[in-house]
């Protein structure tokens, strides 16, 4: 009788081989191999300059520059819109909304007069936009609206900008 030097496999339930432990070992080794391959791919891509930090062609470089300029322009437009919303007051439906029935609106508001005063404007609003209104009547902008002043104090020490060969340089402010 000869004895072998290799150990016999551990028996599972009812004398069977434990396939679950082999599945666990093989999946661990497979995951480890995949991680190593991914690390190698990243390292090679970085060495070749294909990691996405640099453009691979002139067209791609131009496209990236355009995208960067577009993002700057978009941010500037958003800031402009926020600033504009801060100074514009929208007054809609002063004489009647556009959704009302035409016959009833004309009969009820035949010669209605609406006064727009300082009280109807929000704080810091300097531009009035009358919109979405219909029907006969008058909208009167009162005298107190002509005295709109900026909420921020003016700086009298600042000199206006002047540009070379500009006709407005010689005009007195």
What string of H, E and C letters represents the secondary structure of 47-84? HHCCCCCCCCCHHHHHHHHHHHHHHHHHHHHHHHHHHH
Distance in angstroms (rounded) separating the CA atoms of residues 22 and 17 = 9
Q: What is the mean pLDDT of residues 54-70?
A: 87
Spell out a b/e string for 2-20, using b for 16 or more CB atoms within 10 Å of the CB, else e.
eeeeeeeeeeeeeeeeeee
Are the beta carbons of 132 and 92 closer than 8 angstroms? yes
pLDDT over threshold 90, residue 50 = no
- DSSP label of 129: E
| Selected residue with higher pLDDT from 56 and 27 | 27
Report the pLDDT value the prediction gives residue 164, as an integer from 0 to 100: 77
CA dihedral 135, 141, 142, 144 (to 10 degrees): 150
Q: How confident is the model at residue 14 (pLDDT cuts 50, 70, 90)?
A: low
Distance in angstroms (rounded) separating the CA atoms of residues 90 and 81 = 14
Q: What is the mean pLDDT of residues 1-9?
A: 55
Distance in angstroms (rounded) separating the CA atoms of residues 24 and 173 = 85
Least confident window among 4-8, 75-79, 140-144: 4-8
Q: What does the pLDDT look like over 106-158, one tens digit per residue? A: 555 566 788 887 777 777 777 888 887 777 778 887 777 766 555 566 677 77
Query: Is this prediction's pTM over 0.75?
Result: no
Report the pLDDT value the prediction gives residue 61, as an integer from 0 to 100: 86
């Amino acid at each position: 009788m000869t004895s072998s030097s290799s150990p016999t496999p551990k028996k599972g339930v009812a004398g069977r081989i434990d396939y679950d432990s082999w599945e666990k070992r093989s999946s661990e080794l497979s995951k480890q191999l995949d991680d190593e391959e991914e690390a190698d791919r990243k390292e090679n891509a970085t060495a070749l300059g294909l990691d996405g930090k640099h453009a691979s062609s002139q067209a791609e470089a131009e496209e990236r520059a355009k995208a960067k300029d577009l993002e700057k322009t978009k941010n500037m437009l958003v800031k402009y819109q926020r600033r504009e919303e801060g100074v514009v007051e929208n007054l809609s439906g002063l004489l009647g909304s556009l959704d009302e029935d035409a016959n009833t609106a004309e009969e009820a508001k035949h010669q209605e007069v609406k006064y727009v005063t300082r009280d109807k404007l929000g704080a810091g609003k300097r531009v009035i936009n009358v919109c979405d209104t219909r029907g006969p009547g008058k909208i009167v902008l009162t005298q107190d609206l002509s005295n709109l002043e900026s909420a921020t104090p003016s700086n009298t020490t600042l000199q206006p900008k002047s540009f070379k060969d500009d006709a407005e340089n010689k005009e007195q402010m």
